[in-house]
Structure 1
Amino acid sequence: MSESNSIERAEDDLAKSLDKLKEDSKDLKAKIEQEKRRLDLPVDSKLGNPEWERSVSDGHLDLPEEDEN
């Protein structure tokens, strides 16, 4: 009788653990998707655009160096 109770308890613990893992997995997947959306760059981004790189190569957008005194 004691053995069957411990088996049932172990089965219940396993079922609870699996449910918690599934819930945690779902939460983690939602967080990952949210971060992916947050980091998406617009399609027309200047990042990596060779024409933009050529147009700013003269340094006109550079900030002047400041003395750290």
Structure 2
Amino acid sequence: MIEFAALTYGVLASFVLSSAGRNRAAKRPHPPVLRHIGYVLCGMSAGTCAILTGVAVNHLLH
């Protein structure tokens, strides 16, 4: 299950970054859906970072 989630996250992140780069090169505004997906991926990354940091600190303390 983790493999599927990691693959999906990677494909979405690649799509968002390549689309944003293409839009920037063409000097077009980003569609709202692209921005929302980017914010969701950013939030997921920050949340995962916070959870893993908490697990590491908990492991070090016990």
- Normalised to the residue count of structure 1, the TM-score between the two structures is 0.45
> Which has the higher relative contact order, 1 or 2, with Cα contacts under 8 A spaced 6 or more apart?
2
- Normalised to the residue count of structure 2, the TM-score between the two structures is 0.50
When you count helix as a share of all residues, which structure comes out higher? 2
**Higher alpha-carbon Rg:** 1
